[in-house]
Structure 1
Amino acid sequence: MQCLILATLIAVGIAALVYRSKTLSSLANGVSAIGLTIPSFAAIGLLIAPFGFGVTPAVIVVAFFAALPILRNAIVGLAGISPATVEAARGIGMSRMRTLATVELPMAWPIILSGIRVSAQMVMGVAAIAAYALGPGLGGFIFSGLSRLGGAKAFESVLAGVIGVVILALILDLILLGIGRLTTPRGIRV
């Protein structure tokens, strides 16, 4: 969950910086598309060399993969706001930052939240794989079971890890759905 919050802050921050520029938006979307093609297991392996085993490479990889769908949705959401709406806010004396914070981000929030929900589901699997770097998570059960394949309780260990990941993913999605209900302005709810 912490990685998802970190990824959301980073992705929305980057989106807020680039969404007004076609070139920068295209670049950010291109990086996002390329980033999604990197196998998470390979990314973890690359980060073990500089950071060693432990939580650090796991957090970096999970936050990286979590940020990609959020970034794409944040750019789409912010760019999709009518220029007339932004101009009206600016016309009543709002600064660029206040317009972003009080008009644009709330209007783009449902689309951003959709990206967060997709990201949350995707990174549950990435987080399980991150256990390879001795990071925290249910992936430890999966790797432990796979390393003892054919041995006593190996299948049960893998199954416990997989079922745990699925249950956590469903709970996280329900939490995000509730957050969306509570934080989306009534006038723009779908």
Structure 2
Amino acid sequence: MLTMLLDIWNSRSTDIAIATAEHLMLTIIALLLANLLAIPLGVLLTRYPKWAEPIIGIAAVFQTIPSLALLGLMIPLLGIGVMPAVVALTIYGLLPILRNTYTGILGVNSAAIEAGVGMGMTSKQILFWIELPLARPIIMAGIRTATVLLVGIATLASLIGAGGLGDLIFRGISTANQELILAGAFPAALLAIVFDIVLKNVERRMQPKGLQ
């Protein structure tokens, strides 16, 4: 198996490198947008909990739409290419981050919050100095879940002209070429593993010292 993968890399290194770069771009942009939307929204929902269930429910409904169907729905709205793919991927990345942010902050020990209030902290200080640091492991777990999910779904983005490793996979399927399928599938799996390891290390570095 290892010999086969090395042979594939030697014969198609340029195609794999270009497709991997496109795949990385799609995943990173969608992940950043999902974080920028979901984390502040999750924090806001902890302040207005009556809105939490319907809004998280809407995000869950989008999650249930088959990824291929959602990508197809983007075409009449945004055409084909990178833009509709990024929008669809961002939508898919919202739920794990949103839910974990909301759950993580609500799960912060009330004694820690009360101690902050007793020290004269403002609500903003409590959020950034107590709630977010203590909720960080749960939030990071959501981000890691979303990342692995996005790496996998991004392979379908090639069907609407966004490029990525899906190009190699679908070219391989259409020509019954196992080498092409592996050339796209193996780097995608490797990307998911690398992303997860990197985010796990980031989580450890960001963890409050007393909780390590």
Matched, 1:129 2:152: no
% of aligned pairs identical?
A: 37
Which residue, out of 194, 201, 205, partners 1:171? 194
Which residue, out of 39, 43, 49, partners 2:70? 43
Partner of 2:104: 77
Specify every segment of 5 or more residues in structure 2 that has no aligned partner in the other structure, as ranges.
1-27
Structural RMSD (CA): 1.4
Partner of 2:179: 156
Alpha-carbon offset, residue 28 of structure 1: 2.8
Partner of 1:109: 136
Asked if the contact 1:61–1:130 (Cα under 8 Å) also holds between the matched residues in 2, the reply is no
Give distance in 2, aligned partners of 1:48 and 1:147. 22
Partner of 1:118: 145
Partner of 2:207: 184
Give the stretch that moved more between structures: 113-122 or 83-92.
83-92
Give TM-score scaled by structure 2 length: 0.82
Partner of 1:61: 88
Comparing both structures, which one devotes a greater share of its residues to helix?
A: 2
Correspondences of 1:17-32 after superposition (within 5 Å) = 17-32=44-59
Give TM-score scaled by structure 1 length: 0.91
Give distance in 2, aligned partners of 1:5 and 1:183. 18
1:127 aligned partner, one-letter code = A
Secondary structure of the corresponding residue to residue 121 of structure 2: coil
Partner of 1:52: 79
Secondary structure of the corresponding residue to residue 102 of structure 1: helix
Matched, 1:8 2:35: yes
1:8 aligned partner, one-letter code = N
Give distance in 2, aligned partners of 1:129 and 1:115. 22
Give distance in 1, aligned partners of 2:81 and 2:162. 5
Give distance in 1, aligned partners of 2:135 and 2:55. 17
The superposition leaves residues 1-49 of structure 1 with CA deviations (integer Å, 9 ceiling, x where unpaired) of: 2321221121111001102333222123312322221111111100011
1:9 aligned partner, one-letter code = L
Give distance in 2, aligned partners of 1:121 and 1:101. 27
Give distance in 1, aligned partners of 2:209 and 2:124. 23
Count residues in correspondence. 185
- In the TM superposition, structure 1's runs of 4+ consecutive aligned residues that sit over 4 Å from their partners are none
1:141 aligned partner, one-letter code = L
1:102 aligned partner, one-letter code = W
